[in-house]
Amino acid sequence: MGLENFSYSHTIGIASFLGRGFMNPVDVRLDSEGLLFVLSRSNAANKDVRVSVQTLDSEYMYEFGRWGTDPGQTTQPTAIVLDGDDRVYVPDEFMHNVSIFDREGKFLKRWGEFGAGVGQFNRPSGIAIDSDGNPHIVDHLNARVQKLSPDGKFISSFGTFGTEPGQFNFPWGISIDSEDGIWIADWRNDRVQRFTPDGEFVSMLGSSGSSDGQFDRPSGVHVASDGTVFIADWRNDRVQVFGQDGSHTETLIGDATLSKWCQEFLDVNPEQASWRENAGLFEQEKRFWRPAAIETSSDGLVLIADSCRHRIQIYNRASVLAEV
Amino acid sequence: MTTVARKHEDEAVMAHLLRRAGFGATRDQIDQYVARGYEETVEDLLNPSHGEPEDQDLMDRYFIASVEARSVGHADPQWSWRLATSEKPLEEKIALFWHSLLAVGGIKLDHGLEMLTEIELFRRVGLGSFRTILFEISRNPGMMYWLDNQNSHKDAPNENYGRELLELFSMGIDDMGEGDYTEDDVKTAARAFTGWASKPTPPPFFLGPFPMEFRFDASDHDNGEKSFLGETGNFDGENIIDIIVKKRATARFIAMRLYLYFVSDEPDDEEIERLTDVFQETDGDIRSILRSLFNSDHFKSAAVRFHKVKSPAELVFGAARLTDRFDIPDMDSSLLANQSLFMGQHLLNPPGVEGWHEGEEWVDSGSLIERINFAASELGRVEAPGIRRMIELVELAGDDLQPEEFVEACLDAMGSIDLDNGSKAVLVEHAGQSGSMGSADRIVEMFQLIVSTPDYQYC
Amino acid sequence: MANNSNGHSKKNLVVIQLSGGNDYLNTLVPYQDGHYYDFRPNMGLRGDDLIPIDDKLAFNSHMGTFKSLFDQDKMAVLMGIGYPEPNRSHFRSMDIWHTAQPTTTSSEGWLGKANSIIDPEGKNPITTVNFGRGLPRALALQGVSVASVGALESYGLYTGLAGASNKDAMLDTISRIYQPMADGGFPSRRILETGRGALDGADLLREAPRTYSSDVEYPEDNPIAQSLKGIAQVMSAELGTRIYYAAHGSFDTHTNELVNHALLWDQLSTALACFLDDLKQQGKGEETVIWMFSEFGRRIADNGAGTDHGSGGAAFVIGDSVKGGLYGEYPKLGLADQLEGDVHFNTDFRQVYATLLEDVLGVESEPVLKQKFSTLDLVRS
């Protein structure tokens, strides 16, 4: 399948339970200087969760937020986002709170507790920050989105459980566009909904299925600065791309090559390398397996957290942006 | 029998059926099943609608590492959830049966995803024809790898699969180690299965695991003429299975294993012969055999009730299901399989091709402490809806119960279970000493004592 | 070579399992071998990271206790231990070490079998005590009871049970129910006896810390030190326990190896120093032998951040009655001498098992290992 508006760039990652590499990465963000922050969800029982930081050239730097329930630890983290000061926010659906770290991973504070009241959460999932620095948190079992102030005070919330427009059914990811419009991956309704900054329903995209423009449990949504909408169509193992007008423009199914770290692994493990050659599943190796979240950079990179293949696949659409 | 006694007996038999064909039932469920009728309930159990459960997406979301389960440990949350919540208990129970009889060990295979695929295979075909079950497991890539059929070649057949197919999966051997087949039959079976293997997959260490697939390599298959169990032809594996499933030894072996699993740890020759006949009359239809088994007077008789030691999985999921606390997958549900491991049954990782030895061997002093502590802690979950309901049922039984009535009310609330008179007498004495029997604390205490008895180790 | 002992040895065996695959080359470092540094550009240890024991080999600097044990001739270092056709899966390889069956799968643990020979009628439910939850397959054998202990103080029935305000009365009631009766009947005599044994064994184990006294202070935040303290407590109580088991890890150092490997050996080195000191105080030094192994070693070449699964390794036998020294040969590291990127083994681990069975536990080894292995001259009788 040829790509019209994208070229594949490269892949970062290797399955690893600590340090260099990822374990079920479910979210990916770039900081203000272009460092790559990746959230490894893992399997809570295996305790491999963490946020790890690396360059786009696969230089591993450090990690934080490892497994546990103490301040500075995470148990079942769902998403990450960085604010204008590069502070890192990590919602946790086991502890029902949001932990905040500085860029170096030093724990600063955490907000929230279990419940359905204001400032309380029942399995928080996606998180995004608006142009005023207010975090918006998908409080998914409460079927609502909560808007907090930069210091964590409750401001407002919207949403109820259901299948009608404006209602949510196990929502997951969130994105806030350049006009502070709010986009929610309404996961179990197989759609993405768009709201005004005040939480008024605007429109929705998608229905259940596997054709273009249909979804099977979309987990992540990301609106790029030019208005292009990326949706992680989780159980269809693909990422769909939509224009500003909501028209489907492209589908990505994964084009991964061996990452630098994987290549290094195979170099020192010739037996594994020949095992891989013998299997010859090179096409299958490229494909997404449950892509969970998307990030874009101002210079045209599109980064996709390929959650069950333990890697970030990176595309480039600089040429398209240049035309615009 | 009086009406009350009749009702009590109906409930006790229904509770027995649900302990054997499932993981037990709550008091309220038993009432519903009794209202539906015994044979109707048997039919419902035997005919589950197969398919992906509605909450599979939730399981995958909250335990994303289990979607690509690299190891048994990563796969655990999936089966734990199904065992704890399935409303098709016999589907899980029969999967557990085949998981031990057609055992593939997770340790050697080291591929959690494939282990889950295999359990799904057992759910899908486990109540159907034995021929289909054997055929599917013989084309199961995990099984082919586990029993070395990968290394079985036209020029050098590996006998492992051929041997276990006959000895452990179908015809069986007697106490003297003799079967109704010869070493030559083993060798022939091995030849017939040459070329049956799994496709190679990349190692899981850098991108995680890849699903395994069966592969038939015609160029590595022995096409020569073969003599097997008195028949001659150009047999392949499928023909071998066709011959095996017609043998009475196979019918008897499967009937015996079903009897030991569903009825009693002590084989009853007459009943096993009867089930063997049913196997042969129905071409090995497992559903028909189980229908006949569950509907028999022998199965319903008090003589076999509580005469089977609970496996760790039966104990763990039986106690956990009483609490009725699993709305949505969470850390708690994901760790249930660990409890079974602590008691000596590592699900998705049977100790060898012989599966687990059932019966009293389950209970040693270490595992007994684990069994009692786990069950007592489950029954102590006073916030759980199932436990709250049980307390309520005991409270509804009356305000000033005599100690004996109190113990009976607790046993009834826990799903019409019973104890031997010796154990019961000690508990009645305990109830008499502890005062204010009606309080929730005392009720829970009695539940905890009940699950600590030797009697509760049986189902 | 030791002669075949005939069940006279009555020493205790303490097994410390190094889970995850310990990096042999960074444990006992061939610091004069250029190949080592060629293959370990990132993970090679030098200078202060080493404690040389001769002009070829050095311990990792985080193994101070091992160096002093070596100097006192109380530690046998088995170099290049392994088995033919090594398996590099954690699960399978650990299984092979646990069952001593490299070519077939087996559900019978080698120490489970030893237990069944030491106590054939299962009279003592605490002949083997495992520190940790869940039984390592090494100890598993159907019909053999093993106490698996998290913490001794809280071992037994209803420990940590929420809301059980009436626990003593409950325990008393349960104790009265588990009374074996003469007739067959139901529940079976076997289950009742098992329950009786479990209750009695738990009482004994829980009591052990109360009768134990020692000046040794095991660090609280060191899990293997706490396990070894528990072992010392059970030993001091003289309960007839012969086999003790504890695990330490994880040594699966694919990444961050320099930091994590050092931490693990620091913990173990400290814990071992405490334990040996304690054994001396308890008067158990001469009768206790420690066996330390890992399921495999790691690749000769590093991967930039750590090392991947390999084969061949180092193991240790430690104790006052052990004949210290280096055993076997340090494997050669040159490309031509490698086995698919790993070191070749030169000592079959089952030879050590045979030695531990015969010269420590006093059990004939052949029925356990299903094969006759020559023993090594490691332990003084």
Smallest Cβ–Cβ distance between C144 and the set B106, B309, B364 belongs to: B364
Confidence of residue C186 (pLDDT cuts 50, 70, 90): confident
Whether residue C340 and residue A18 make contact (CB cut-off 8 A), yes or no, is no
Confidence of residue C9 (pLDDT cuts 50, 70, 90): confident
Q: Quick check: is C182 in a domain?
A: no
B427 touches C at CB < 8 Å? yes
The ipTM of this complex is 0.96
Q: Quick check: is C106 in a domain?
A: yes
Q: Regarding predicted confidence, which is higher, C67 or C92?
A: C67
First vs last Cα of chain A: how many Å apart? Answer: 24
Residue A64 pLDDT: 97
CA distance C1 to chain B (A): 35
Mean pLDDT of B204-230: 95
C123: tokens are 């009279």
Residue B361 pLDDT: 83
Residue B32 pLDDT: 97
Residue B402 pLDDT: 93
B384: tokens are 């759980």
Q: Could you tell me which chains touch chain A, where touching means 3 or more CB pairs under 8 A?
A: B, C
* C284-315 pLDDT per residue, tens: 999 999 999 999 999 999 888 889 888 888 99
Per-domain boundaries in chain A: 7-323
The answer to whether residues B234 and B222 touch, using CB atoms and an 8 Å cutoff, is no
Supply the DSSP string of C269-309, one letter for each residue: HHHHHHHHHHHHHHT-STTEEEEEEES--B-SS--SSS--B
State the count of interchain CB pairs (< 8 A) between A and C: 39
Total structural domains within chain C: 1
Confidence of residue C122 (pLDDT cuts 50, 70, 90): confident
Residue A2 pLDDT: 63
Distance of alpha carbon C200 from alpha carbon C198, whole angstroms: 6
Smallest Cβ–Cβ distance between A289 and the set B68, B77, B331 belongs to: B68
What are the two backbone dihedrals, phi and then psi, of residue A39, each rounded to the nearest 5 degrees?
-100, 115
Provide CB contacts within 8 A for B87, sequence distance 6+. Answer: none
Residue C3, pLDDT above cutoff 50: no
Mean pLDDT of B293-310: 96
Q: Quick check: is C314 in a domain?
A: yes
Mean pLDDT of B197-205: 92
Residue C6 pLDDT: 44
* Nearest chain A residue (CA) to B61: A219
Q: What is the 3-state secondary structure (H, E, C) of chain B?
A: CCHHHHHHHHHHHHHHHHHHHCCCCCHHHHHHHHHHCHHHHHHHHHCCCCCCCCCHHHHHHHCHHHHCCCCHHHHHHHHHHHHHHCCCHHHHHHHHHHHHHCCCCHHHHCCHHHHHHHHHHHHHHCCCEHHHHHHHHHCCHHHHHHCCHHHCCCCCCCCHHHHHHHHCCCCCCCCCCCCCCCHHHHHHHHHHCCCEEECCCCCHHHHCCCCCCEEECHHHCCCCCEEECCEEECCCHHHHHHHHHCCHHHHHHHHHHHHHHHCCCCCCHHHHHHHHHHHHHCCCEHHHHHHHHHCCHHHHCCCCCCCCECCHHHHHHHHHHHHCCCCCCCHHHHCHHHHHHHCCCCCCCCCCCCCCCCHHHHCCHHHHHHHHHHHHHHHCCCCCHHHHHHHHHHHHCCCCCCHHHHHHHHHHHCCCCCCCHHHHHHHHHHHHHHCCCCCHHHHHHHHHHHHHCCHHHEC
What are the two backbone dihedrals, phi and then psi, of residue A314, each rounded to the nearest 5 degrees?
-120, 130
Distance of alpha carbon B277 from alpha carbon B256, whole angstroms: 12
What b-and-e string marks burial along B104-137, b requiring 16 or more CB atoms within 10 Å of the CB?
A: bbbbbbbbbbbbbbbbbbbbbbbbebbbbbbbbb
pLDDT values of chain A reduced to their tens digit, one per residue, 324 residues: 467 788 999 999 999 988 899 999 999 999 999 999 999 999 866 778 999 999 999 999 999 999 999 999 999 999 999 999 999 999 999 999 999 999 999 999 999 999 999 989 999 999 999 999 999 999 999 999 999 999 999 999 999 999 999 999 999 999 999 999 999 999 999 999 999 999 999 999 999 999 999 999 999 999 999 999 999 999 999 999 999 889 999 999 999 999 999 999 999 988 899 999 999 999 999 999 999 999 999 999 999 999 999 999 999 998 777 765
Distance of alpha carbon C320 from alpha carbon C69, whole angstroms: 9
Q: Quick check: is C361 in a domain?
A: yes
Provide CB contacts within 8 A for B226, sequence distance 6+. Answer: B188, B191, B192, B232, B233, B234, B235
Whole domain around residue C274: which residue ranges? 12-153+218-369
Residue C164 pLDDT: 64
**Can you tell me whether residue C228 is helix, strand or coil?**
helix
Distance of alpha carbon C231 from alpha carbon C246, whole angstroms: 9
- Percentage of residues of chain B with pLDDT beyond 70: 99
Strand segments (E) across A41-118: 50-54, 60-64, 81-82, 88-92, 97-101, 107-111
* B343-360 pLDDT per residue, tens: 989 999 998 888 898 888
- For an interface test with C, the pick among A40, A47, A62, A271 (most C C-beta atoms closer than 10 Å) comes out as A271
CA dist list (Å): A145 to A137, A173, C294: 5, 11, 50
A323: tokens are 């035309």
Residue B227 pLDDT: 96
Confidence of residue B291 (pLDDT cuts 50, 70, 90): very high
Instruction: Please tell me the least confidently modeled range out of A80-84, B204-208, B240-244, C146-150.
Output: C146-150
C341 touches A at CB < 8 Å? yes
C144 touches B at CB < 8 Å? yes
Residue C7 pLDDT: 47
Distance of alpha carbon C113 from alpha carbon C148, whole angstroms: 17
Residue C194, pLDDT above cutoff 90: no
Q: pTM of this prediction?
A: 0.89
Mean pLDDT of B266-292: 97
* A158-168 pLDDT per residue, tens: 999 999 999 99
Residue with tokens 């088994």: B293
B61 touches A at CB < 8 Å? yes
* C45-90 pLDDT per residue, tens: 999 999 999 999 999 999 999 999 999 999 999 999 999 988 887 8
Confidence of residue C245 (pLDDT cuts 50, 70, 90): very high
Residues of A in contact with B70 (CB under 8 A): 15
The answer to whether residues B208 and B216 touch, using CB atoms and an 8 Å cutoff, is no
The answer to whether residues C276 and C214 touch, using CB atoms and an 8 Å cutoff, is no
C107 touches B at CB < 8 Å? yes
- Percentage of residues of chain C with pLDDT beyond 70: 96
Whether residue A270 and residue C299 make contact (CB cut-off 8 A), yes or no, is no
Residue C182, pLDDT above cutoff 60: no
Q: Quick check: is C87 in a domain?
A: yes
Q: Regarding predicted confidence, which is higher, C59 or C123?
A: C59
Whether residue C256 and residue A19 make contact (CB cut-off 8 A), yes or no, is yes
Residues of B in contact with C191 (CB under 8 A): 309, 360, 363, 368, 454, 457
Residue A109 C-beta-side C-alpha neighbours within 13 Å: 5
Smallest Cβ–Cβ distance between A308 and the set B62, B64, B205 belongs to: B64
For B176, other C-beta atoms within 10 Å of its C-beta total 6
What DSSP character marks residue A269? -
Distance of alpha carbon A234 from alpha carbon C324, whole angstroms: 59
Residue C2 pLDDT: 37
CATH of the domain at C256: 3.40.720
Structurally, at CATH architecture level, domain A7-323 sits in 6 Propeller (2.120)
The answer to whether residues A224 and A320 touch, using CB atoms and an 8 Å cutoff, is no
